A and B are shown apart, each in its own frame.
Chain A
Amino acid sequence: MTPPTPTLQAGDTVPDGTFRYIPYTEDLKDTVTQSLDITEDLKGKKVVLFSVPGAFTPTCHVNHLPPYLQHYDDFKAKGVDIIAVVAANDPFVMSGWGRFEGVKDKILCLSDPEAEWSGKIGLALDMSQLHFGIRTARYAIIIDDLVITYIATEPGPGVTVTGAEALLAEL
């Protein structure tokens, strides 16, 4: 499958949108989903956002998310306020996946239902023929006060330009 090309580039403002998620709590009360409004909640912040086609799927699970968790302190040292992972799975699955990976409150696990917001930047993938529906592509963005400073999609299987080390080098 050829990876999609983003319709925005460094210097553009991120489109408006909402993600749903379940905030991490020690006692894991799973019942309440919250909204993250991009324009309101990410204003003035330095954000690293990476996207995976699905929670618990190969590559993502093993190779994409764990390095972001391992490098958490390195990201913080570079002034990153929020690290987030996005997929089209529902917020309960994203929360479950986050707990499975032990991310606690270090990485926000966000749901982009039907890859709606990702689709606004041209980064949704139609995987219907695999019965997976519309998914988010494997991409990563650095956002500084709502302006994109880095945006990349993975050109093939595996993790390179969207991985933790690549992003750290851009910060």
Chain B
Amino acid sequence: MAPTVKVGETIPAGTFKYIPYTPELESNAACGVPVSLDITKDWKGKKVVLFSVPGAFTPTCHVNHLPPYLQKYDEFKAKGVDVIGVLASNDPFVMSGWGRFQDVKDKLLCLSDIGAEWSSKLGLSMDTPGGARTARYAIILDDLTIKYIEVEPAPGVSVSGADAVLAKL
């Protein structure tokens, strides 16, 4: 699989739904209300690291892909990253639940690309028996321009992992 956009191009427009983190969610008794993130509006002028997983709570993603991004949060911030987002095709409630399960708080935005719709604009969705899913990839954006875009060539985490992305910042 290869992305249909490349370094130097402007990221395609799109929206993601997500549930913003609030301390009330910590009690596990509330679920929050989904809001929209508009890529072109909300990420203009920002340095963004976005990594995508095929599914919340699935093997690899859960254990090996997300945690290093959380552990290295300060290093990302030191390199001037404004937003770190994790993306999957799960609905925003599941993404919020997964984020709380992983204790990301407000460090990572847990974004829902329902139906892998936006990811497929980049050629980065895959068909599974359960429907379209986002591939395992990572993107660095600087003021809406793609600086890095890599999709995992095989199972496991390499070019889309926290270390690989940090090295490119």
Residues of A that sit less than 8 Å from B by CB? 30-31, 54-58, 61-62, 89-90, 92-93, 95-97, 99-101, 113, 131-133
Contact = CB atoms under 8 A, between A and B. Distances in A.
Given A56-B97, A96-B97, A96-B101, A132 B57 contact: no
23 contacts: A30-B59, A30-B63, A31-B59, A54-B94, A55-B93, A56-B97, A57-B31, A57-B93, A58-B31, A61-B31, A89-B94, A90-B55, A92-B55, A92-B56, A93-B57, A96-B97, A97-B94, A97-B97, A99-B101, A100-B28, A113-B130, A131-B17, A132-B114
How many residues of B sit at the interface, in one of the four size bands? 20 to 34
Interface string B45-58: 00000000001111
Interface in B54-79: 55-59, 62-63
Contacts of B62: 30, 92, 96
A30 B115 contact: no
Given A30-B58, A92-B55, A92-B56, A55 B97 contact: yes
Given A30-B63, A57-B31, 19 more contacts: A30-B57, A30-B62, A56-B93, A56-B97, A58-B30, A58-B31, A62-B29, A90-B55, A92-B57, A93-B94, A96-B57, A96-B97, A97-B94, A97-B97, A101-B28, A113-B129, A131-B114, A131-B115, A132-B114
Contact of A93 (B28, B63, B90, B131): B90
B105 interface: no
Contact of A95 (B17, B57, B63, B114): B57
Contacts, number: 68
Given A92-B58, A96-B56, A56 B114 contact: no
Given A30-B62, A57-B31, A61-B31, A96 B93 contact: no
A2 B59 CA distance: 37
A90 B128 CA distance: 12
B89 to A, nearest CB: 10
Contacts of B59: 30-31, 92
A97 B93 CA distance: 11
Nearest to B130: A90
Interface string B115-145: 1000000000000011100000000000000
A30 B58 CA distance: 7
Given A54-B94, A56-B96, A133 B131 contact: yes
Nearest to B54: A92
B56 A132 contact: no
A100 B149 CA distance: 33
Contacts of A92: 55-59, 62
A95 to B, nearest CB: 6
A31 B91 CA distance: 21
A93 B91 CA distance: 11
